[in-house]
Amino acid sequence: MYFNHIIDTLGNTPLVKLNKVTDGIKGTILAKVEYFNPGNSVKDRMALRMIEDAEKAGLLKPGGTIIEGTSGNTGMGLALAAIAKGYKTVFVMSDKQSKEKQDILRAVGAEVVVCPVDVAPDDPRSYYSVARRLNQETPNSFYPNQYDNLSNTAAHYEATGPEIWQGTDGQITHLAAGVGTGGTICGSSKYLKEQNSKIFTLGIDTYGSVFKKYKETGIFDPNEIYPYKTEGIGEDILPKNVDFSVIDQFIKVTDKDAALMTRRLAKEEGLFVGWSCGSAVFGALEYAREHLAESDTMVIILPDHGTRYLGKIYNDDWMRAQGWL
């Protein structure tokens, strides 16, 4: 058996039990390890889905250019699909993203445009605005807009959620995942809650992001927004893919706690994962300590691979410069 293209290998990622970092916690804690996807992240799933849906709708035509704002992983997924299908790619990133992410995207043939992170979303220099402008200026181009493109959620409703349900033989009681665009957690959660409405979904947010307060109060509070270092979760906008009705509770995790837990996952579990994976595990275990029973099964989605963060959280000098080691 062989695959016709690397993108045909995506999905069916393993569930792996956490053994050491869960010391003293009741129940079974499983990690859905998404770095087994060909682009080493969960974003491969929705990247391919957004492209295929755009082709069906006539929004993406042969020889076209895909232009997207990304923190890196969606770009990689789009790039692999573009290689298979013959499209060009331009990715717009904020300057807080690791150099590794920029270099990886260039390696797979993308043009990378870097924008300042500490500007408002509607500022013409923000990566949201620059991506939209480049789309308007480039003939035969398509702007997937992963934040508001509901193909993002659909990819996880149709694949990630069912994989988790089948992988736990329907025994899952809790789902935990970081929230950025919202597609991963909301698509998976919607499917799982349709199978068993008692499943509890925990969204992991970061300090500097609006999600937790918005869920609890219905207020979009600009005072919640400030720069943070963790990549891939949290937002200063409310993406259409974030369906707050399928997320039961949010927990915020600091940059430091996330970084240290990420390193623990590598050292103690052999899971060489990305920064927001540490956020998801730290927040999920904080909840589990108080609320999980022996009979419960919690699944935590780990979105990406550690190679994206070698210059940051896996670099002792960088960690010391933050005061975290």
Kindly give the confidence (pLDDT) of every residue in the chain, 325 residues in length, as a single tens digit, with 9 standing for 90 and above. 999 999 999 999 999 999 999 999 999 999 999 999 999 999 999 999 999 999 999 999 999 999 999 988 999 999 999 999 999 999 999 898 888 889 999 999 999 999 998 888 889 999 889 999 999 999 999 999 999 999 999 999 999 999 999 999 999 999 999 999 999 999 999 999 999 999 999 999 999 999 999 999 999 999 999 999 999 999 999 999 999 999 999 999 999 999 999 999 999 999 999 999 999 999 999 999 999 999 999 999 999 999 999 999 999 999 999 999 9
| 262 and 318 part of one domain | yes
| 241 and 108 part of one domain | no
d(CA 317, CA 74): 28
d(CA 244, CA 214): 9
| 123 and 249 part of one domain | no
Q: Which of 32, 43, 193, 215 is catalytic?
A: 43
| Domain range enclosing 108 | 43-142
CATH code at position 179:
3.40.50.1100
Spell out a b/e string for 79-111, using b for 16 or more CB atoms within 10 Å of the CB, else e: bbbbbebebbbbbbbbebbbebbbebbeeeebe
> How many helices (DSSP H) and strands (DSSP E) are in the chain?
11, 10
Query: Which tokens is 54 given?
Result: 């755009």
| 161 and 295 part of one domain | yes
What pLDDT shows up at residue 117? 86
What pLDDT shows up at residue 87? 98
| 26 and 49 part of one domain | no
Count the domains in the chain.
2
| 187 and 206 part of one domain | yes
Model-level pTM? 0.96
Query: Which tokens is 218 given?
Result: 């219905």
85 belongs to the catalytic site: no
What pLDDT shows up at residue 99? 86
N residues, the chain: 325
What pLDDT shows up at residue 120? 87
| 282 and 203 part of one domain | yes
- 8 A C-beta contact, residue 93 and residue 101: yes
| 51 and 104 part of one domain | yes
